[in-house]
Structure formats: C-alpha cells, structure tokens
Amino acid sequence: MQLFGKSVTKAGLKKARRRVVKVAAFALALLILSPFIGAAVYRFAPPPGTWTMLQRKLSGEVIIHPWTPLRKMSPHLVRAVIAAEDSRFCEHNGIDVEAVEKAMANNKNGGKRRGGSTISQQTAKNVFLWQGGGWIRKGFETYFTVVSEAIWGKRRTMELYLNVAEWGNGYFGAEAAARGRFGKSAADLSKHEAALLAAVLPSPNKWRAVNPGPYVRARAATIRKRMDVVRNEGLDRCVLKGGG
C-alpha cells in the first residue's frame, strides 16, 4: 500500500491504529479523571486563578484576587448569595433538578428567560471551565459539579465560590470586592453591603454595588428580606452550622 509516497504494510497500519487507540484511551481517561484530581487538590489548596481571570489579564485588566478563608467572611454575605443565587443550596446535591424543571417550563412558555444553575454549578464552572453557553460546556459543568460537590462538601464549595466570584473592575473574591467597594474586610460587611454585593453577581461589570441604580437597589432590598428567611428557616445550616 502506498501512503504519501511510502509503502505501508498491514503490520504498520495495525501498529498505527493501536497508537491512535492508546492516545484516545489516554485522553478519555484524563478527561474522566481530571475533575477528581482537580477537586481533590482544591479540597485543601486555593485555586491560583481561573480561566476568566486569565481572560481578563490577557485583555490588560489588573486582577485583584486575595484568598480569604470562609471563617473570615461575614455570615451576611453567605446568606446574601444563598438568598440571591440558590435558596436550596443546602438541599440539593449540586444539581437542583426542581429548579431546572421550573426554568425549562418557564422558558418553554415564553416567560423571561431564566437559568437553573446552582451555586455548586457556578463554582465548578468558575474553577474549572470557561464562560459562555453551549451544550458541550454545560455537559462538562454538570459532570464537574457532581464530582466536586461529592469531594468538597457544602462549606468548601461556598468558600471556593466566594473566593473566585467576579465582582467587576478586576475584583475576584469577597475580600477584594469588600475592600474595593466598601473599604473594609469581608468579615466586616454589613447586611446591606452583603446584599448589594450579591445583587450585582449576575452582571458584575455592568451593575454597581456602590451608588447603585434603581434596579440594583430594588434587587438588594429583596435580597435583604430573603436573607432573614434564609437565617430563620436554616437554609444556611450546611455552611453556618453555628448560626453565624
């Protein structure tokens, strides 16, 4: 057999096929094991950065990303993000099937488009994956979420989430956002300040936590009310076991 001007034997073709199969098998094994390896590492070590941070750096933005343990963050902020982003955070196993079904039904009926992503999913996406939609990314996100949730648990998931979340102007993580927006540490955030930070999470480069517009003010007011529900009904118990 002639291939690119060279004679190729059947034995040579079989050998080449075996190499391709080995490479494909190795790539598949790496793909399957990567979330386990990554989640195991980040169970104890802070992520050095995320794809989003790298993207911002490449665009010339200065990134501010100090790591802060959850115990040094205000419990108000924990309640605020649960109230704003995922009220069933302590109830689901990473994927909130009920929220996904409601979102699909709402979108199918022509309502205002909404997603069903949990804090766990957002954390997995932020830590391991890239931004943007698409079924391929969403599939990876689901797989990474299930694996990381099992390894991290709720408290570590929340700690990672609050340390890699973007708050605009190069601020990543609660400590950077608290100091950049309010001139104080994340531990000293008031209920109102925590609600404002949670209010801008869906669009941190568009909405402002300081001198907010009418929409953000109204959203923050709603979050403040929900924070009381989160505390009173123990919806934060998997994170703030002592009540905070």
pLDDT at 98: 79
pLDDT at 4: 45
Q: What is the pTM of this model?
A: 0.84
Q: Which residues contact 206 (CB under 8 A, 6 or more apart)?
A: 168
Domain ranges of the chain: 43-232
Q: Phi, psi at residue 237, to the nearest 5°?
A: -65, -30
Domain 43-232, CATH class in plain words: mainly alpha
Q: For 206-211, which contacts have Cβ atoms below 8 Å and span 24 or more sequence positions? A: 206/168, 207/168, 209/167, 209/177, 209/181, 209/182, 210/181, 210/182
Q: Would you tell me the crossing angle of helices 191-199 and 75-85 to the nearest 10 degrees?
A: 40
**Could you give the CA distance from residue 217 to residue 199 in angstroms, rounded to a whole number?**
8
pLDDT at 19: 75
Continuous H helices in the chain: 10-42, 51-58, 75-85, 97-108, 119-128, 135-164, 174-182, 191-199, 214-232
For CA atoms 132, 160, 227, 206, the dihedral sign is negative
**Could you give the CA distance from residue 138 to residue 161 in angstroms, rounded to a whole number?**
18
**Could you give the CA distance from residue 90 to residue 139 in angstroms, rounded to a whole number?**
23
pLDDT at 8: 56
H or E stretch at 3 = strand 2-3
Q: Locate tokens 């943007």: which residue?
A: 132
For CA atoms 17, 19, 21, 24, the dihedral sign is negative
Q: Phi, psi at residue 38, to the nearest 5°?
A: -60, -45
Helix (H, G, I), strand (E, B) or coil at 7: strand
* pLDDT digit string (tens) for the chain, length 244 residues: 444 444 557 666 777 677 765 655 555 555 566 778 889 999 999 999 999 999 999 999 999 999 999 999 999 999 999 999 999 999 999 998 876 666 555 555 555 544 568 999 999 999 998 887 678 888 889 999 999 999 999 999 999 999 999 999 999 999 999 999 999 999 999 999 999 999 999 999 999 999 999 999 999 999 999 999 999 999 999 999 755 4
Q: Phi, psi at residue 41, to the nearest 5°?
A: -65, -45
Of the candidates 151, 161, 149, which has an alpha carbon nearest to the alpha carbon of residue 123?
A: 161
